[in-house]
Structure 1
């Protein structure tokens, strides 16, 4: 759950930096002008972010008049207040092209003894990652891992839980798509035990997400889905409907609350899937569990998350199983040159 959902005053901005040596180098490589290269990659970046459901309050360009005026106003203020200093520095110079060279133009052997890469640039060596910023580990992607994550975690865990709960609520005889009441839910031992674990997990999720530990946040959210599946199995809710209708209603109302909670917790990672779950719950697209202090307390009482009497929508599959032959085709398609 992002900062905006936590209620913080948040502005999410992005854009393309269209000045600097990197733009010039790329333009030379592709035999385009800097403006042409910027137009090309601005459109490409914007398309990729939209494809990944990454939305910005503002996605701009450093070449726009607004950005230019803003930068110049900052520089002028620094200059007028005498907050800038001049200095003399050494810089590589190319006799042939009669110009000083930025670090990006200088290629040579990486000075790191464990690397010695022969085509390192003056400002960065890709193989040894010496100038790569704050990453603590590399991401390794392979198609088999994607297949396993989709089929075993998203399908068998998350979708299985969501579908079991919503399908049971809409079935007839059953609850006719209406979330039942759950009187004295806290007196039900398995429900009380689940609530304690979920409440603790949500607090942990909030803490790691505020530290931008996204992988940990995702793991915690998926673990709540695992708890939900275990809860359904342990309660044997399908037997309760005939034998103990009140207990069955408690399980269903609690589980429906968990479905909504999970849609909110997983929204930063899969916003379109979360939106689909809210649709199946018949909740407005903008409605989300905010994780304000009040919501955190409510997470520890999941039977209170959604109101009794609320009519849900129609459950449909969230994911499609990825088969072996599809993995082969995808690997071939995206193998590159």
Structure 2
């Protein structure tokens, strides 16, 4: 039938979705094969019963065909003037403010860091601009704190020299990846000090700060224990009495004679016993740590065992602010106009559910924003308080109208892109600082937090040389657009995903070379060779209108997903349009028609004229993902398009008589030999395994509540069967442990049952 090519293309799309889920399952299959089968079955059922799937196989009515043809015939503007540098807010209009998590300046970002925030934010910023929305994207480097001091000591230079060196490294990497930020700045500016201190004083005035004397680790050998916006916020918090003073216990190194802030001390994690846990967080289990909780702590500078000493510090009174935060959080996350990723909502909700605790905002360090309050002027602000203020301070450094963006919640919508480890700071603590000032700050409306990206069967590690880092990507010979495409194709939106060289090769060769690139190239080459590089006259038949209608259906999905920041799924609908286009050409066989009579030649003209217009549409749809490829396509089409259709429908872009340029291939095939060489190059030094062999991967990592429920039911049945068969007790206990772990995970994910309430008398799994 005329729709046969559509059905085939659609089936391929859904098989691709199912394959992605299957890959995740198979990665753990060797360790545990039985309990993930229900997860896979559930995933397939959800895909095939979804509203999207059902709608896409419904026949197209004649009314939809005629509507698609009518929309096609309407001309729309496809280009707009370039943005100005000093952007202003449009009163009463739609103004979108975008930030991505500020990376620590002292490290080179790896692929997981890049997709986790800055690349994702770039895609959405480009998409927003294509929709004609007034958009400002600000990001930069986080330069204060112990990480910078530590790196400076390692390299024997000043913190300022470290910041200058790595700021350039970061900017060069992001420029190579074609990140389209409006401002890429730093937190070591006068504007940062002023705003941080302003917020501090407002919190102090409003009585949201506490004073405490703390005990810290201090190194006797080293003898070491505001930019404008940060200080503004500080003073507002001070005025509003949201600051507390307390004496706290801290680690102090007697040899270095200094307090040991988080990055200057390492020891065994009190939760999982990981031997290289830092004084602020464990990289293995991800839990936040108080440095004095570390077991067997050591000064990172001289390996001396530190002592516990007291130091007076300021705390943000989060318990006092919690009612205001909860009110804001509920209003924000329940609004249909706002989008928070599930990861962001779950983590932020758990913090609120468990009750907020006072949080220290000062440090015994030299490198940082100075605290302006008498009695604390020898201290600096804690980086978790100070760093998010970098967003407004970077804007202020480049734009004198910064307050139009950052103190204007009525006219500005704020999107923030982060990794899941940053959710507490962006979803709770930074909003708390803004709320505590009692000023009208622009607070996050949409929070997109992603899971982790792993590397092959390991994790990224600069020290072990495992994985691709930003500076490495430039040296592989693979264009930046290919990196962007693949990272977005595997973006870890709802669960951890894995970078795979083989999968990168396959996606490049199948989706880009054979699908997208093949469709556009064959259409343009045909017009070059048979129509003197001129778009021919087009006379539509029913099958052509069907193509328009099918593309419009794909566009509906594309815009809906992009608006909800589901960037990974958005790209699949772009590829489906080119896949449909390929099937359309293949079914019509214009290369045969062109050799026949006038009627057949006219038919070939319509087919290829329509194909060229689909190519033009694809060129603008892929702009957020592959900006260089988009520019190349538009150069070949001899057209400039920087606006998406306002009504989200397919319109004629290239009129009959329009001259195109010479077509050239868009992509190159990646060869297996080349990929194997790169895989070997970046595998690094392999970690030694213990005598028990390689640790098993976590088969339940990243599963949704429905998927966990399916696993839970299957596991419960298995335990009952083992008990009925009177299997040995150790065998049963092992499976019961898995069952209770599943129950615990499901409880924590749903947020309904406390972590320690898994075996009470009301627990249906008490029998086990």
Query: TM-score, normalized by length of structure 1?
Result: 0.87
Aligned equivalent of 2:277: 120
Distance 2:681 2:180 in 1: 27
Alignment of 1:149-298 (within 5 A): 149-171=507-529, 174-183=530-539, 185=540, 188-241=541-594, 242-243=596-597, 244-284=600-640, 287-293=641-647, 296-297=648-649
CA 1:91 to 1:4, structure 2 compared with 1: closer, same or farther past 3 Å?
farther
Contact 2:151 2:162 in 1 (8 A): yes
> What do the CA deviations read for 1:148-177 (whole angstroms, capped 9, x no partner)?
111121111111001100000110xx2110
| Aligned 1:1-337 pairs, distance under 5 A | 2-71=127-196, 72-73=228-229, 75-76=231-232, 79=235, 82-83=239-240, 84-88=242-246, 90-96=248-254, 97-112=256-271, 115-130=272-287, 132-133=421-422, 134=449, 135=451, 136-171=494-529, 174-183=530-539, 185=540, 188-241=541-594, 242-243=596-597, 244-284=600-640, 287-293=641-647, 296-297=648-649, 299=650, 301=651, 304-336=652-684
| Residues 1:67 and 1:309: Cα distance change in structure 2 (over 3 Å) | farther
- Residues 335/30 of structure 1: CA separation in 2 closer, same or farther (3 Å cut): farther
Q: Which has the higher contact order (CA 8 A, sep 6+)?
A: 1
Change (3 A) 1:264 1:129: farther
Shift of residue 120 of structure 1?
A: 2.0
Q: Is the 8 A contact 2:194 2:231 kept in 1?
A: no
Contact 2:193 2:231 in 1 (8 A): no
CA, structure 1 residues 266+77, in 2 after alignment: closer, same or farther (shift >3 Å)?
A: closer
Q: CA deviation at 1:17?
A: 1.2
For each residue in 1:67-98, what CA deviation from the matched residue of structure 2 results, as whole angstroms up to 9, or x when unmatched? 44454245336526813523215342214244
**Mapped partners of 1:42, 1:177: distance in 2:** 47
CA deviation after TM superposition for structure 1 residue 30, in Å: 2.9
Counterparts of 2:526 and 2:566, CA distance in 1: 35
Contact 1:232 1:251 in 2 (8 A): yes
Query: 2 CA distance for matches of 1:15 and 1:88?
Result: 33
Q: Which has the larger radius of gyration?
A: 2
1:293-319, CA deviations, whole angstroms, 9 ceiling, x for partnerless residues? 2xx22x1x5xx1322211011111111
Change (3 A) 1:75 1:126: same
SS class of match (2:135): coil
CA-CA distance at 1:44 after TM superposition: 0.7
Structure 1 residues 48 and 91: alpha-carbon distance in aligned structure 2, compared to 1, 3 A threshold:
farther
**1:263/1:110 Cα in 2 relative to 1: closer, same or farther (>3 Å)?**
farther
Q: Aligned pair count? A: 322
Helix, strand or coil for the counterpart of 1:321?
coil
Q: Secondary structure at the match of 1:94?
A: strand
3-state SS of paired residue (2:235): helix
SS in 1 for 2:499: coil
Contact residue 190 and residue 235 of structure 1 kept, 8 A: no
- 8 Å CA contact 1:170–1:176 kept in 2: the answer is yes
| CA distance in structure 2 between the aligned counterparts of 1:74 and 1:50, rounded to whole angstroms | 28
Query: Which deviates further from its counterpart, 12-21 or 79-88?
Result: 79-88
Deviates more, 1:134-143 or 1:304-313: 134-143
SS at match of 2:140: strand
Unaligned runs of 5+ in 1: none
Change in Cα spacing, 1:12 to 1:100, as seen in structure 2 (3 Å) is: same
More helix by share: 1
Aligned-partner Cα distance in 1 for 2:635–2:546? 29
User: What is the TM-score normalised by the length of structure 2?
Assistant: 0.40
CA RMSD of aligned residues (A): 2.3
Change (3 A) 1:291 1:122: farther
> Structure 1 122/212 Cα, relative in aligned 2: closer, same or farther at 3 Å?
farther
CA distance in 2, matches of 1:105, 1:164: 59
CA contact (8 A) 1:22 1:104 kept: yes
**Matches of 2:498 and 2:247 in 1, distance apart?**
40
Distance 1:189 1:221 in 2: 23
**What secondary structure is seen at the aligned counterpart in 1 of 2:130?**
coil
Counterpart contact for 1:261–1:289, Cα < 8 Å: no
Task: Indicate if the aligned counterparts of 2:195 and 2:233 stay in contact, CA closer than 8 A.
Answer: no
Distance 1:78 1:335 in 2: 46
